Amino acid sequence: MADLSEKNYSALFQEKKKRFSDEFNHIELIDFFKSPYLGYRYRAEFSLIKKNGYTSLAMTKDGQKKEITSFPIANLRIQNLMESLIRFINTNSIISDKLFQVEFQSSRTDDSLITLIYHKNLGSDWEQQALEFASSENVSVIGRSKKQKIKIGNDYVKETYSYLNNTYPLFLFEQCFSQTNPYICDDMLNWVSENVEPSLEDVLELHCGLGTFTILLSRLFRKVLATENSRPSIKGLKQNLELNNSNNVYFARLSGQETLAALNQERIFNRLSAIDLNEFEFSSVFLDPPREGLDDKTLLNVKNFNQIIYISCGFETFKRDMNYLEKTHEVKKLAMFDQFPYTDHIESGAILVKKAPD
């Protein structure tokens, strides 16, 4: 088992810090954010492995399934649910039959959800047994199979994020991307709010997801145009905006490239028919792309914004994109967020402002 001690975590964090600092040694203003060394994961996915008639949770390593007997990097609520669920699976053939994947999600108030994914159609007998487990553990349960979803309780957990002296709630929906480490998410929100001046102009947000950063941006800028290509995430975003009474956010289901094409009047989209793009005065763009980073066309377009706020989950693509963006923008602040301790993964943040013309 990996060394999950605080001492080892601190040593690994220093290695990441050095790696980040060495890469950006020309930048003076860099902030570094550590994670708790245990109990920081609030989402976890497992496959199943059966040995000697006993079913266990498993994860794949080096192409092979490895049994998971403990998972201390998860929060305590998920750890307890893992134990309860395995006991239930091993004593209930209706629940265990053709079950191949299990997903856990929780919040810091212990609001919790388990998704069970099957290679079979789920009937009323399954629903009755799942309801029994959900009631005994005070947890929501989702059953999924091909073209089927059975919901017992909610299909989301409710998390509350903090920045400076403010908070806001967010519904984190099942099957939608959300931040795995809420403590680091608070750090990211706080870092953005500390380093971005409130503005009477507007911000464009690409890849907005469920609205984790959208709510914050709505409090820093006059208006927000938020776009996202995922239907479930856009549906979740709508509910989160209603939850927070965010009335200055306009949103549409568009990819980043489609959004920029619309702004450049290259294409007309029916999905934008209710939004008058001429009413926006964009000074800033907020980017939180997938791991592959920004495509060439997006890079070409975002350099026209006065301010670029960039959160990245892929360090190699972040380095590549920063090399391009620094040709037109000065780096105001950088940050390294240790979203995934004990791994090589580095989450990065940058705030850039446009260089004055020569």
CB 31 within 8 A of CB 334: yes
> Which of the residues 45, 176, 313, 330 is marked catalytic?
313
> Which of the residues 159, 205, 258, 347 is marked catalytic?
347
347 is catalytic: yes
- What gap in Å lies between CA 241 and CA 110, rounded to an integer? 23
208 is catalytic: no
Q: Is 208 helix (H, G, I), strand (E, B) or coil?
A: coil
Instruction: Please name the residues in contact with 168: beta carbons below 8 A apart, sequence gap of 6 or more.
Output: 160, 161, 215, 216, 244
- What gap in Å lies between CA 39 and CA 44, rounded to an integer? 12
- Going by their DSSP bridges, the two strands 282-287 and 43-51 should be labelled as unpaired
Q: How many CB atoms lie within 10 A of CB 173?
A: 22
Q: Is 314 helix (H, G, I), strand (E, B) or coil?
A: coil
CB 233 within 8 A of CB 176: yes
**Which two tokens mark 29?**
């203003």
User: Bridge-partner residues for 204, per DSSP?
Assistant: 225, 285
Please give the positions annotated as active site. Answer: 313, 347
